[in-house]
Structure 1
């Protein structure tokens, strides 16, 4: 059914958290009932007590949500209804003519906060080491159930549905040609956009390639020995993938099977923060170092901006339901036919070898392995991410 003019309206959006909610957040943090310290010296049992108590002290006494709110409100934000659900998005048009329209999708446990550092470099490249020919018009939506977007009251909002909705969003904004980028869930969504291949989509860029060959994925998931014939690089990637499936996938399994059971992360700020931090080993180690006072690609405020957004919007459970909706392998090839650019950051959950990427994406136009960066590449390494995106889709720009 075609959307009515009212449904298709694009409405300005802004947000200001009630001070009473921020006071209540600090009260709940202070009232946390802590468990005993883990009996191990590493993170093998989960997020360490010292990390969480350091985070809590800063969150309750020094962190200022209003700074994040000001950063968001400085950007043009909008809301529009697609398939009966309100979709929130940031939309920044470049001052440069012929800017390439680009839609970027975040993942879990991320949000639009992941992309805030790359808005200026992508839309205003001449002030950030690029040329006018590198400019993008930028669209950054909040996925359904995340952040300021609506929460579905019926089932069916899976990654394929979101992929179709993003195409509708770009059409609604008047774009006749565009590219799409994503990591984590965003990577799955842009892959599916590439499978659906609408005529407006020029190509995609991913920083978490869906490229693990099916037989290798099955073996890793089963915890089997590495298949014969793998190169040294592929064997290393296999071991890392198998470790993630055996030790690091518990959060996804719980959300994939019983998301509604996770009442604790909707009721306890510290419960929510620990659940969000326990995503992958490399990211957790980085964030632990941040709260231990080390200088990293992320700051304490970066981490807490994202967690606080989840808390204030009460989206811990609604965001989790995307895992329940999903029936696709996170890292499996999907059958993408459009041009694809792949950037591989070394601390990603798995670092796709070139041969796997070439096999998964027959129209591979760019492949590069970076020296640093992890799962939240745009957030942690915005300069490297910006350069990769500029380079990766440069050949797709209309002449």
Structure 2
């Protein structure tokens, strides 16, 4: 496997073009609805993108991101961008952490520090990890796949090859959002390589066998499925668009930085434990570092394409099918779905389950200390 160092360097011309586009925005007419009721709040968005054009320092963000050891690997013809951060300790345990949408590898800056050097945060150096954070194909600096068919299952195959090429024959996996699907696919397809999987989200397409031969649904499971369907009806329009008409959406989001900012920032507010104030949890600079990454790499279209692929290859399991590697689950209170433990236990060996005291969908950014502690606890008995 060929690996080369990588350094982020956005051309000045791209930054100038971004500012020009923001200043030339043709704003949509406002409606009389209350703020945030129908999506992004136009007043907040105007102030947000004005900050993007006139105050946000991409070069400072770029310099900070470049302090992370980044690489590009050619994995069976697919180029994959990744961070490879070595742990501080006697025997760091290898862990691949996978992001989702609308996130990116920048979600894990704080988490990386806590996983790789736990002693610096009051933890035990024996809990340190070697952490690999790949960018999903089509996200950030990982080019889009040349051929159709790259769902979570094919990404799992890429990750096994990547980790093997880095010298890790066995390892753990962690993920939320799309990364949770990749992590479960790793456990399902590669139990000989994956010691265990830790999740802070359950993929929406996950469906265990619930036929006549299986135990009937519990009242908790029935309530979860009703809530899941209700959420999809009111909040899941973005996912339906991603999974059915990604190119139509990409045509506008790739051309308009304001449209892109609205599409992504609204989700950070809606899915986080922010009590309606997104800047209570995320600074403008944190939000714009992630959004700028989508803008400068023009990856919004290729990124949402994965929803199309996952719809064609959903995470469904047959009657009697069991996944061998143990699973840990951290259920954050403001996550967009709250599956009961029994729902996962129909297919998975759930070895650790924790109801978290705070946090939402972007747990690595919102509650890095809590998430790091859960990951350390889950993998501690698996290190041998």
Structure 1 spans left out of the alignment, 5+ residues: 1-7, 217-226
Alpha-carbon distance change, 343 to 228 in structure 1, aligned in 2, over 3 angstroms: closer
Paired residue secondary structure (1:338): strand
Q: Which moved more, 1:181-190 or 1:50-59?
A: 50-59
> Aligned to 2:237, which of 233, 247, 250?
250
Q: CA deviation at 1:36?
A: 1.7
Paired residue secondary structure (1:193): helix
Q: State the alpha-carbon separation in 2 of the partners of residues 167 and 207 from structure 1.
A: 21
Alpha-carbon distance change, 107 to 280 in structure 1, aligned in 2, over 3 angstroms: same
1:369 maps to: 355
The answer to whether structure 1 residue 340 and structure 2 residue 324 are counterparts is no
2:264 maps to: 276
Paired residue secondary structure (1:255): helix
> Does the 8 Å CA contact 2:198/2:327 hold for their aligned counterparts?
yes
The answer to whether structure 1 residue 138 and structure 2 residue 122 are counterparts is no
What CA deviation, in whole Å up to 9, does each residue of 1:289-334 have, x standing for no partner? 235xxx32x2111111110000000001111111111124479898
What CA deviation, in whole Å up to 9, does each residue of 1:256-309 have, x standing for no partner? 112111211000001111112343773278396235xxx32x211111111000
Aligned residues: 374
> Does the 8 Å CA contact 1:111/1:142 hold for their aligned counterparts?
yes
Alpha-carbon distance change, 76 to 281 in structure 1, aligned in 2, over 3 angstroms: closer
Q: State the alpha-carbon separation in 1 of the partners of residues 17 and 144 from structure 2.
A: 23
2:32 maps to: 39
Paired residue secondary structure (2:267): coil
> Does the 8 Å CA contact 1:210/1:331 hold for their aligned counterparts?
no
> Does the 8 Å CA contact 2:197/2:325 hold for their aligned counterparts?
yes
1:310 maps to: 294
1:82 maps to: 75
Paired residue secondary structure (2:252): helix
Q: State the alpha-carbon separation in 2 of the partners of residues 194 and 169 from structure 1.
A: 16
> Does the 8 Å CA contact 1:342/1:392 hold for their aligned counterparts?
no
Q: State the alpha-carbon separation in 1 of the partners of residues 232 and 314 from structure 2.
A: 12
Q: State the alpha-carbon separation in 1 of the partners of residues 8 and 124 from structure 2.
A: 33
Paired residue secondary structure (2:361): coil
> Does the 8 Å CA contact 1:104/1:141 hold for their aligned counterparts?
yes
> Aligned to 2:219, which of 221, 230, 247?
230
The TM-score, its normalising length taken from structure 1, stands at 0.88
Alpha-carbon distance change, 284 to 53 in structure 1, aligned in 2, over 3 angstroms: farther
- Matching of residues 55-70 of structure 1 within 5 Å: 55-70=48-63
Alpha-carbon distance change, 299 to 113 in structure 1, aligned in 2, over 3 angstroms: same
> Does the 8 Å CA contact 1:47/1:284 hold for their aligned counterparts?
no
Q: CA deviation at 1:351?
A: 1.4
1:223 maps to: none
What CA deviation, in whole Å up to 9, does each residue of 1:109-143 have, x standing for no partner? 11001111111111011101211111000100000
Alpha-carbon distance change, 253 to 396 in structure 1, aligned in 2, over 3 angstroms: same
Alpha-carbon distance change, 306 to 268 in structure 1, aligned in 2, over 3 angstroms: same
> Aligned to 2:308, which of 324, 336, 340?
324
> Aligned to 1:392, which of 362, 378, 383?
378
Q: CA deviation at 1:243?
A: 2.3
- Matching of residues 1-399 of structure 1 within 5 Å: 8-210=1-203, 230-231=219-220, 234=221, 237-262=224-249, 263-279=251-267, 282-283=270-271, 286=274, 289-291=277-279, 295-296=280-281, 298-326=282-310, 327-329=312-314, 335-361=322-348, 363-398=349-384
Alpha-carbon distance change, 280 to 120 in structure 1, aligned in 2, over 3 angstroms: closer
Q: Which moved more, 1:185-194 or 1:204-213?
A: 204-213
Alpha-carbon distance change, 185 to 332 in structure 1, aligned in 2, over 3 angstroms: farther
Q: State the alpha-carbon separation in 1 of the partners of residues 316 and 226 from structure 2.
A: 15
> Does the 8 Å CA contact 2:99/2:178 hold for their aligned counterparts?
yes
Q: State the alpha-carbon separation in 1 of the partners of residues 9 and 185 from structure 2.
A: 34
Q: CA deviation at 1:153?
A: 2.5
In the TM superposition, structure 1's runs of 4+ consecutive aligned residues that sit over 4 Å from their partners are 210-216, 328-335
Q: Which moved more, 1:16-25 or 1:182-191?
A: 16-25
